[in-house]
Chains A and B, each alone.
Chain A
Amino acid sequence: DTAVSQTPKYLVTQMGNDKSIKCEQNLGHDTMYWYKQDSKKFLKIMFSYNNKELIINETVPNRFSPKSPDKAHLNLHINSLELGDSAVYFCASSQDTWANVLTFGAGSRLTVL
């Protein structure tokens, strides 16, 4: 049973479209994250939620909107997709917000044409 699962694994879409990536964790963790990994493999945090509350919101365009319906789920919705949004998006979770182990999902590769 996958600890952190995200769907879809691959997403190919046209510029201007709106798309969502879903994430679920079954570890009972309180904190969930979205990271973006660019073409150079650099991993940068986008958002962090603790018990459904937003606690970290890095400098991310407001076209990106995370939503956490409960502490086991953190979804990412992206409006008006741009070419530069192409990347691999990783969902992760940790026990809480204090320097814990990050457990990552397998990633969702988004390609914007």
Chain B
Amino acid sequence: TQLLEQSPQFLSIQEGENLTVYCNSSSVFSSLQWYRQEPGEGPVLLVTVVTGGEVKKLKRLTFQFGDARKDSSLHITAAQPGDTGLYLCAGWFGNTGNQFYFGTGTSLTVIP
């Protein structure tokens, strides 16, 4: 059983298009992080959200934490080829051994 489901699993879009990636769970997170992983590398942290309803922006990336802290979304505006990679959400439940549970991943390809 996957604790965090991401959708879509794969996404291929043209440069300049917008996209949204979703991370959903039936459980409540204490905090949630988004990572990006490029081929041959480890995941790199993009953002951490803690408060329900929180919105954070990182240049063309907008991250939102659901009001109930069970879901999150990542929106990319005007995607660029450099955005290509595997996007992973990771939830921390705070009372389950102090570990992050990673989502199922979304593989994004931005075509020039």
A102 at the interface (CB under 8 A from B): yes
Q: A99-B31, A99-B92, A102-B45 are in contact. Are A107 and B40 (CB under 8 A)?
A: yes
Cβ B41 vs Cβ A107 within 8 A? yes
B53 at the interface (CB under 8 A from A): no
Q: Which of B40, B45, B107 contacts A41 (CB 8 A)?
A: B107
Chain A residues with Cβ below 8 Å from B107 are 41
Size of the A side of the interface (Cβ < 8 Å), in residues, is: 24
Cβ A97 vs Cβ B98 within 8 A? yes
Size of the B side of the interface (Cβ < 8 Å), in residues, is: 27
Cβ B97 vs Cβ A55 within 8 A? yes
Nearest-Cβ distance from residue A50 to partner chain B, whole angstroms: 9
Cβ A42 vs Cβ B30 within 8 A? no
B88 at the interface (CB under 8 A from A): yes
Chain A interface helix/strand/loop/mixed: strand
Q: A42-B104, A43-B88, A43-B102 are in contact. Are A99 and B43 (CB under 8 A)?
A: no
Cβ B105 vs Cβ A99 within 8 A? no
Most-contacted residue by chain B among A33, A45, A102 (CB, 10 A): A102
Cβ B30 vs Cβ A43 within 8 A? no
CA distance A97 to B98 in the complex (A): 6
Q: Which of A42, A56, A98, A102 contacts B43 (CB 8 A)?
A: A102
A44 at the interface (CB under 8 A from B): yes
CA distance A102 to B98 in the complex (A): 12
B-contact bits for A44-85, CB 8 A (1 contact / 0 none): 110010000001100000000000000000000000000000
Q: A48-B99, A99-B30 are in contact. Are A104 and B105 (CB under 8 A)?
A: no
Cβ A104 vs Cβ B44 within 8 A? yes
Which residues of A are interface residues toward B (Cβ below 8 A)? Answer: 4, 33, 35, 40-45, 48, 55-56, 90, 92, 97-99, 101-107
